[in-house]
């Protein structure tokens, strides 16, 4: 018997939630707080750097005079972060939505849409989406991410993703047990053989893969775009660190990208 449903579950959660981490390593050293009017960056040494929406730079509340070239780097840095913030939230939301639809439909097909486990799946996704927004984003467009959020792995960290995957794995184990019990009952009653079930699940898995492929590709493209944007921000940050007095220790972003064009 081919357990296509379980394979699809593992494929969906791993590929959707991992994005393109194998090609893009993004880490935060310090705290980054963004609002529509101000970007605040707190370094590990306690220094606070701000950039306003008009691209004015301060270090520990002291305004900094910039050359034209330095101003270009400040503006480029601010614009890159401003672009990355909404893309980050969109990417996470899209990934959750895709995993949601794939898993709900998969187990709904196997257990029935009214099964209580399907409702538990939906609740887990809804809770995770709400927790993600509460942690990183507020209603007024405020976004905050700290070095503690990214300590283990990356720009938005994967602690939330690990917790989410654990919830889904727990539910999947329950669902798999329910499916096997149902299959056993059907085999005993002669309604369906193991071979019939395997063929049905294989066909269903192929159909599901075709339908989610386009969405998964779109998510991957957004992940690559995010990586490139943050790589550019890191590039500007390095320029500021090297050429602006007072920013010698300025190192909020560290980005390594195999596919970067810069």
Q: For 53-80, write each residue's pLDDT tens digit.
A: 999 999 999 999 999 999 999 999 999 9
Check pLDDT > 50 for residue 205.
yes
Do 201 and 220 form a contact (C-beta atoms < 8 A)? Answer: no
Whether 258 maps to a domain, the answer reads no
The percentage of the chain sitting over the pLDDT mark of 90, rounded to a whole number, equals 30
| Element of type H or E holding 63 | strand 62-63
Whether 98 maps to a domain, the answer reads yes
78: helix, coil or strand? helix
The length of the chain is 262
Q: Report pLDDT digits (tens) over 35-53.
A: 989 999 999 999 999 999 9
Do 35 and 41 form a contact (C-beta atoms < 8 A)? Answer: no
Provide the domain limits for residue 102: 4-28+86-139+155-245
Whether 70 maps to a domain, the answer reads no
Whether 63 maps to a domain, the answer reads no
Whether 62 maps to a domain, the answer reads no
Rounded to 5 degrees, what angle do the CA atoms 188, 192, 197 make? 120
156 pLDDT tier (thresholds 50, 70, 90):
low
Whether 74 maps to a domain, the answer reads no
Whether 105 maps to a domain, the answer reads yes
Whether 42 maps to a domain, the answer reads no
pTM of the model: 0.75
| Element of type H or E holding 124 | helix 116-136
Give me the number of domains the chain comprises.
1
Task: Give the contacts of 215 (CB within 8 A, at least 6 positions apart).
Answer: 94, 98
Burial of 5 (0-12, 13-18, 19+ CB in 10 A): buried
Q: How far is 157 from 209, CA to CA, in rounded Å?
A: 27
Check pLDDT > 60 for residue 16.
no
pLDDT at position 20 is 44
């Amino acid at each position: 018997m081919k357990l296509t449903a379980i394979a699809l579950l593992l494929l969906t959660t791993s590929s959707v939630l991992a994005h393109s981490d194998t090609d893009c390593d993004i880490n935060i050293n310090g705290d980054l707080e963004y609002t529509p009017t101000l970007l605040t960056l707190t370094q590990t040494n306690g220094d606070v750097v701000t950039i306003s929406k008009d691209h004015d730079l301060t270090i520990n509340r002291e305004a900094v005079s910039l050359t034209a070239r330095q101003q270009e780097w400040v503006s480029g840095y601010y614009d890159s972060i401003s672009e990355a913030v909404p893309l980050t939230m969109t990417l996470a939301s899209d990934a959750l939505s895709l995993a949601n639809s794939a898993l709900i439909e998969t187990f709904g097909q196997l257990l029935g849409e009214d099964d209580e486990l399907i409702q538990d799946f939906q609740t887990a996704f809804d809770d995770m989406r709400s927790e993600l927004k509460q942690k990183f984003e507020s209603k007024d467009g405020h976004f905050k991410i700290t070095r503690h959020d990214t300590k283990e792995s990356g720009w938005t960290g994967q602690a939330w993703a690990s917790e989410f995957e654990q919830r889904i794995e727990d539910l999947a184990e329950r669902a798999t047990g329910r499916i096997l019990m149902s299959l056993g009952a059907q085999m005993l009653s002669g309604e369906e053989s193991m071979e019939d079930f395997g063929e049905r699940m294989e066909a269903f898995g192929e159909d599901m893969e075709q339908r989610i492929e386009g969405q998964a590709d779109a998510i991957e493209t957004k992940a690559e775009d995010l990586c490139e944007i943050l790589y550019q921000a890191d590039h500007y940050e390095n320029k500021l660190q090297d050429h602006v007095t007072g920013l010698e220790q300025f190192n909020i972003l560290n980005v390594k990208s195999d596919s970067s064009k810069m």
